[in-house]
Amino acid sequence: MAKRQILIVNGPNLNLLGKRQPEIYGSSGFEDYFIKLTEMFGDVSLNYFQSNHEGELIDKIHEVGFDFDGIVINAGGYTHTSVALADAIASVTTPAVEVHISNIHAREAFRHHSYLSKVCKGMICGLGLKGYELAVRYLLDLPVKS
């Protein structure tokens, strides 16, 4: 049987993890954490994509959205503004889980609304980088696409 494939997508400013506001986002960069994830899920093909550009995020979702087994998405600020990104997730058959490192509901009021929540299987927020692991575990528990 082929390895299951999961894409982790990080949106704008998440390339600065470990440097940007460590009191909110922690002091670890995502690339180091991704290495740990790939070791943790050695039997899964984990792929990582980060962009600060909305169209590139949408293009990546379109690229894998009919073939992969899951998408873990932290859209950063686009969570609260991008109907287009939500439409991209709704347009594909691959299930997605929304992840936020911080608890968006304990932050500024504009962060309390997510355009993605309605089109994702679920949301994990406020658990730091651990949220990515939990999202991958959830997606792996879903039935395999036929």
Query: Which residues are annotated binding-site positions?
Result: 74, 80, 87, 101-102, 111
The Cα 122–Cα 63 span in angstroms is: 22
> Given 33, 78, 100, 115, which residue is catalytic?
100
- The full 3-state SS of 8-57, as one line of letters, equals EEECCCHHHCCCCCHHHHCCCCHHHHHHHHHHHCCCEEEEEEECCCHHHH
Q: Which residues are part of a known binding site for substrate?
A: 74, 80, 87, 101-102, 111
> Given 25, 33, 78, 115, which residue is catalytic?
25
**Is-catalytic flag, 113?**
no
The Cα 133–Cα 79 span in angstroms is: 20
Catalytic residues: 25, 100
